């Protein structure tokens, strides 16, 4: 057992040294593999952050009721009357003056608000149903739209449905591009090792003449495929990390407009580990299929 492990260690180390002995060609291969894997990895990172945004929203069934122009006292009295309804669990009245103050606090709106001659904002009532589900919120919104003092009712879960559709789209794109890029990785490594086997045809014939088995000859090629795929996965992680850094400032600016401190999170270490293991497995399979097939066709003269 010890000699078997020692043989694997020796052949794995030799395969790594052989890669460094041809740095230019192998570097180009690693770059192609890295950028191929970076696309699905970046899409996965974006999908993960979209899911995080969806999960952060605590009140998906909140309603925003916009009232018609009327005195504050009448609007506030209407808000107080809503508290007596059994199907309503929370009511918050926001006067036009309070709404204008909130607009001033939003980045980019202060100068625009200062240009206004009068306050154009209506009174607003924020309402949450007693039962926190979509059916209750939809029914309550329909009832409130029938009130004579109500101008418009916005169900805040509507944008969450759109966000959920975007989330589903990004996740599907991640799966599709992951499949395509993994197939590209499979073909790149397979073709690289196929050419390597053909270039070393005479050496392989000599090894078979002295009694080397196909599995013994194949093993260094398997390690070469694993090393190439592993290096490509590391490069993909680095590229994805820098893409996240570049996008984070834009995400922070967008989140600031919604009074949120959300920021883009990159891949966790366990996700990086899965990426490296998955890529290495595909590299191993590609090497086994491509190199193994051609090794069987090479026979000593």
The residues spanned by each domain of the chain are 7-57+161-297, 63-155
Residues 6+ apart with CB under 8 A from 139: 87
Cβ atoms within 10 A of the Cβ of 185, count?
26
Both tokens assigned to 168: 């589903």
* Average pLDDT, rounded, for the chain: 81
Q: How confident is the model at residue 82 (pLDDT cuts 50, 70, 90)?
A: confident
Of the candidates 127, 160, 164, which has an alpha carbon nearest to the alpha carbon of residue 143?
127
On the question of pLDDT at 99 being above 80, the answer is no
pLDDT at site 141: 82
Mean pLDDT of the 210-220 span? 80
- CATH entry 3.30.70.3040 includes domain 63-155: yes
pLDDT at site 257: 66
Is the pTM value of this prediction over 0.85?
no
Mean pLDDT of the 192-206 span? 82
| 42-46, 109-113, 240-244, 286-290: range with lowest mean pLDDT | 109-113
Angle at 40 between CA 179 and CA 19, to 5 degrees: 85
Specify whether the CB–CB gap between 95 and 63 falls below 8 A.
Answer: no
pLDDT at site 193: 84
DSSP symbol at 118: S
pLDDT at site 240: 93
DSSP symbol at 106: S
Q: How confident is the model at residue 40 (pLDDT cuts 50, 70, 90)?
A: confident
* 3-state SS class at 18: helix
Q: Which one has a higher pLDDT value, 131 or 146?
A: 146
What is the C-alpha to C-alpha distance for residues 143 and 141, in angstroms, rounded to an integer? 5
Q: Which one has a higher pLDDT value, 236 or 219?
A: 236
Q: What percent of the chain has pLDDT over 90?
A: 10
């Amino acid at each position: 057992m010890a000699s078997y492990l020692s043989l694997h260690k020796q052949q794995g180390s030799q395969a790594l040294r052989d890669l460094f002995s041809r740095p230019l060609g192998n570097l180009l291969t690693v770059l192609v593999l890295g950028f191929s894997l970076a696309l699905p990895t970046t899409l996965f990172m974006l999908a993960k952050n979209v899911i995080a945004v969806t999960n952060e929203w605590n009140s998906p069934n909140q309603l925003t009721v916009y009232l018609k122009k009327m005195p504050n006292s009448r609007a506030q009295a209407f808000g107080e009357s809503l508290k007596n309804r059994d199907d309503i669990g929370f009511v918050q009245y926001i006067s036009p003056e309070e709404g204008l103050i909130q607009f001033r606090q939003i980045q980019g709106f202060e100068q625009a608000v200062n240009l206004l001659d009068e306050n154009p904002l209506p009174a607003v009532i924020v309402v949450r149903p007693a039962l926190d589900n979509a059916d209750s919120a939809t029914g309550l919104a329909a009832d409130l739209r029938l009130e004579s003092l109500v101008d418009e009712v916005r169900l805040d879960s509507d944008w969450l449905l759109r966000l959920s559709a975007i989330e589903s789209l990004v996740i599907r794109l991640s799966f599709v591009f992951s499949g395509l890029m993994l197939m590209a990785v499979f073909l790149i490594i397979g073709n690289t090792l196929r050419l390597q086997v053909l270039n070393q045809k005479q050496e392989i014939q000599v090894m078979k003449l002295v009694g080397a088995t196909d599995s013994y000859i194949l093993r260094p090629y398997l390690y070469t495929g694993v090393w190439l795929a592993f290096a490509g996965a590391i490069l993909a992680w680095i590229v994805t990390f820098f893409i996240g850094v570049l996008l984070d400032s834009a995400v922070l600016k967008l989140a600031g407009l919604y009074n949120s401190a959300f920021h883009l999170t990159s891949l966790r270490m366990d996700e990086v580990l899965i990426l490296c293991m998955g890529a290495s497995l595909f590299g191993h399979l590609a090497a086994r299929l491509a190199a193994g097939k051609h090794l069987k066709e090479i026979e000593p003269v």
